[in-house]
Amino acid sequence: MRSDILLLKYGEVVMKGLNRSYFDNLIVRRVKNLLKTVEGEFTLEYAQSTLCILGNEDADMEDAAEKMKRVFGVASVCRAFRCEKSVESIRETVKEHIEELVGDAKTFKCEGKRSDKSFPLSSPALSAEIGGTVLQLMPHLTVDVNRPDVVIKLEVRDKYAAVHGGGEKGAGGMPNGSAGHGMLLLSGGIDSPVAGYLMAKRGLTLDALYFDSPPYTSEAAAEKVQSLAGALAAYCGRIFMHTISLTEIQETLMSACDERLFTILLRRFMMRLAEKQALDVGAAALITGESLGQVASQTLNALSVTNAVPEIPVFRPCIAMDKDEIVQISRKIGTFDISILPYEDCCTVFVPRHPNTRPTMEQILEEEAKLDIEGLVERAFATRRHKKITEG
Ligand code: ATP
Ligand code: MG
pLDDT band at 77 (very low <50, low <70, confident <90, very high): very high
Measure the CA–CA gap between 200 and 316, rounded to whole angstroms.
12
Measure the CA–CA gap between 127 and 145, rounded to whole angstroms.
11
- What phi, psi does 139 have (nearest 5°)? -65, -20
Nearest atom of ligand 1 to the alpha carbon of 184: 20
Q: What is the pLDDT of residues 107-128, one digit of tens each?
A: 999 999 998 889 999 999 999 9
Give the total residue count for the chain.
Answer: 392
Got the DSSP string for 232-283? Answer: HHHHH--EEEEEEE-HHHHHHHHHHS-GGGHHHHHHHHHHHHHHHHHHHHT-
Region 259-271: what's the mean pLDDT?
A: 95
Q: Where do the domains of the chain lie?
A: 5-169, 180-389
Region 253-270: what's the mean pLDDT?
A: 94
Report the DSSP beta bridge partners of residue 388. Answer: 240
Pocket test for ligand 1, best of 183, 185, 206, 223 (most atoms within 8 A of CB): 185
pLDDT of 99 > 80? The answer is yes
Task: Write down the pLDDT at residue 14.
Answer: 86
- What phi, psi does 232 have (nearest 5°)? -70, -35
Q: What is the pLDDT of residues 306-339, one digit of tens each?
A: 999 999 999 999 999 999 999 999 999 999 999 9
Task: Write down the pLDDT at residue 392.
Answer: 61
Share of the chain above pLDDT 90, in %: 87
Task: Write down the pLDDT at residue 253.
Answer: 95
Task: Write down the pLDDT at residue 103.
Answer: 93
pLDDT band at 22 (very low <50, low <70, confident <90, very high): very high
Residue type for 343, please? Y
For residues 103 and 112, the answer to whether their CB atoms sit within 8 Å is no
pLDDT of 348 > 80? The answer is no
5-169 is classed CATH 3.40.50.970: no
Cβ of 277 closer than 6 Å to ligand 1, yes or no, is: no
Nearest atom of ligand 1 to the alpha carbon of 188: 3
Q: Is the peptide bond before 215 cis (omega within 30 degrees of 0)?
A: yes
Burial class (CB in 10 A: 0-12, 13-18, 19+), 9: middle
Q: What is the pLDDT of residues 179-219, one digit of tens each?
A: 999 999 999 999 999 999 999 999 999 999 999 999 999 99
Residue of the CA atom closest to atom 10 of ligand 1: 347
Region 376-389: what's the mean pLDDT?
A: 98
pLDDT of 3 > 90? The answer is no
Pocket test for ligand 1, best of 206, 287, 347 (most atoms within 8 A of CB): 347
Cβ of 192 closer than 6 Å to ligand 1, yes or no, is: yes
Task: Write down the pLDDT at residue 353.
Answer: 81
Mean of the per-residue pLDDT values of the chain: 94
Cβ of 345 closer than 6 Å to ligand 1, yes or no, is: yes
pLDDT of 349 > 80? The answer is no
Q: How far is CA 372 from CA 185, 255, 277, 391, in A?
A: 24, 13, 20, 40
Report the DSSP beta bridge partners of residue 211. Answer: 244
Region 352-375: what's the mean pLDDT?
A: 91
Cβ of 292 closer than 6 Å to ligand 1, yes or no, is: no
pLDDT of 345 > 80? The answer is no
180-389 is classed CATH 3.40.50.620: yes
Kindly give the distance from the C-alpha atom of residue 252 to the centroid of ligand 2, in angstroms, as a whole number. Answer: 24
Secondary structure of residue 144 in the 3-state scheme:
coil
Query: Which ligand does the CA of 217 lie closest to?
Result: 1
Measure the CA–CA gap between 101 and 177, rounded to whole angstroms.
37
Measure the CA–CA gap between 380 and 214, rounded to whole angstroms.
12
Task: Write down the pLDDT at residue 2.
Answer: 81
Cβ of 207 closer than 6 Å to ligand 1, yes or no, is: no
Q: Which of 173, 170, 317, 176 is nearest to 233 (CA)?
A: 176
For residues 229 and 389, the answer to whether their CB atoms sit within 8 Å is yes
Cβ of 196 closer than 6 Å to ligand 1, yes or no, is: no
- What phi, psi does 132 have (nearest 5°)? -60, -40
For residues 102 and 150, the answer to whether their CB atoms sit within 8 Å is yes
Report the DSSP beta bridge partners of residue 5. Answer: 80
Residue of the CA atom closest to atom 14 of ligand 1: 290
Cβ of 211 closer than 6 Å to ligand 1, yes or no, is: yes
Query: Which ligand does the CA of 339 lie closest to?
Result: 1
- Of the CA atoms within 13 Å of residue 173, those in its CB half-sphere come to 24
Task: Write down the pLDDT at residue 104.
Answer: 93
Q: Which of 42, 46, 54, 51 is nearest to 74 (CA)?
A: 51
Q: What is the pLDDT of residues 126-139, one digit of tens each?
A: 999 999 999 999 99
Q: Which residues contact 359 (CB under 8 A, 6 or more apart)?
A: 261, 264, 301, 302, 305
Cβ of 346 closer than 6 Å to ligand 1, yes or no, is: yes
For residues 204 and 285, the answer to whether their CB atoms sit within 8 Å is yes
Cβ of 185 closer than 6 Å to ligand 1, yes or no, is: yes
Q: What's the chain's Rg over C-alpha atoms?
A: 26
